[in-house]
Amino acid sequence: MANKVNIVLVHGAWGDGGHWHSVIPILHGAGYTVVASQHPLTSLADDAETVRRLAESLEGPTLLVGHSYGGAVITEAASKCPNVVGLVFIAAFAPDVTESLGILLGRTDPPPGGANIAPDKYGFLWINREKFGESFCQDLDKDSITVMAAAQKPISGKCFEDKPTNAGWKNLPNWYQISEQDRMIPPATQQFLAERMKATTISLDTSHASLATRPKEVAELILKAAAELGK
């Protein structure tokens, strides 16, 4: 265990740490210390600070893994965490300091899932529950879709406007998983981000919710990163 890195899993919008429920047992079974953040989705700064504190609480080198918006969070948090040694992006944003999520989404035509997102009167964005499955996880089983839709955690619209103060992926080893059937972040944008950061990349024929639909392959990528960093 002495050479094994810690693994911090960072959720994206419309979910929480429970979205990793099928990945965590695989990583834990491989002997790693694994924790999943529960951040508020109120601003990039707030969410990155939550992750920073979680990483700080762990002893030894740590790998940050972000899904979706969580990729922006680990991008911002990495430079604030001296013990972070690598980043894994799971169908995720990886903005530069001049880019918000909105800017990155503007690189292509709007993704189909975007049409089913609407704000409430408090400025938080929700996915229409009846459209959640077709937007976020079209290849997931019906019961899991029902649970994800019912338990979705809204994200502040501010998070789509915030830009990172430091692009942590520029100074660390990176891995990236592209979801080829993603309806939330265009696959072409994911490909651009992976290539820009020169990440070790895999592509999966799955939806945005690859951490739930393809947990084995997602866990294998994380384990690959962890093993390489632990050498």
What pLDDT was estimated at residue 1? 47
Q: What is the spatial distance between Cα 230 and Cα 17, in angstroms, rounded to a whole number?
A: 24
* pLDDT above 90: residue 231: no
Q: What is the spatial distance between Cα 206 and Cα 183, in angstroms, rounded to a whole number?
A: 10
Query: Which whole number is the average pLDDT over 150-179?
Result: 98
Q: Given the structure tokens 């990495």, which residue do they identify? A: 78
Choose the catalytic residue: 68, 100, 135, 179.
68
Query: Which whole number is the average pLDDT over 14-43?
Result: 98
Query: Which whole number is the average pLDDT over 118-126?
Result: 98
What pLDDT was estimated at residue 78? 97
Counting residues of the chain whose pLDDT is more than 70, the rounded percentage is 99
The model's pTM is 0.98
* pLDDT above 90: residue 18: yes
Q: Where are the beta strands (DSSP E) in the chain?
A: 6-10, 34-36, 62-67, 84-90, 117-119, 124-127, 155-156, 174-179, 200-204
Q: Do 77 and 48 meet the contact criterion of CB atoms below 8 Å apart? A: yes
Query: Which whole number is the average pLDDT over 23-50?
Result: 98
* pLDDT above 70: residue 2: no
What pLDDT was estimated at residue 28? 97
Q: How confident is the model at residue 120 (pLDDT cuts 50, 70, 90)?
A: very high
Query: Which whole number is the average pLDDT over 40-67?
Result: 97
Distance of CA 226 to the CA centre of its chain: 17
Q: What is the spatial distance between Cα 27 and Cα 50, in angstroms, rounded to a whole number?
A: 22
Ramachandran region, residue 202 (left: φ > 0; alpha: ψ -120 to 50; beta: rest)? beta
Q: How confident is the model at residue 3 (pLDDT cuts 50, 70, 90)?
A: confident
Give the chain's mean pLDDT. 97
* pLDDT above 50: residue 161: yes
* pLDDT above 50: residue 8: yes
Query: Which whole number is the average pLDDT over 219-228?
Result: 98
For the chain, the 3-state helix, strand and coil shares in percent, each to the nearest 5, are 45, 20, 40
22 is catalytic: no
Query: Which whole number is the average pLDDT over 134-159?
Result: 98
- In sign, the C-alpha dihedral spanning 177, 183, 187, 193 is negative
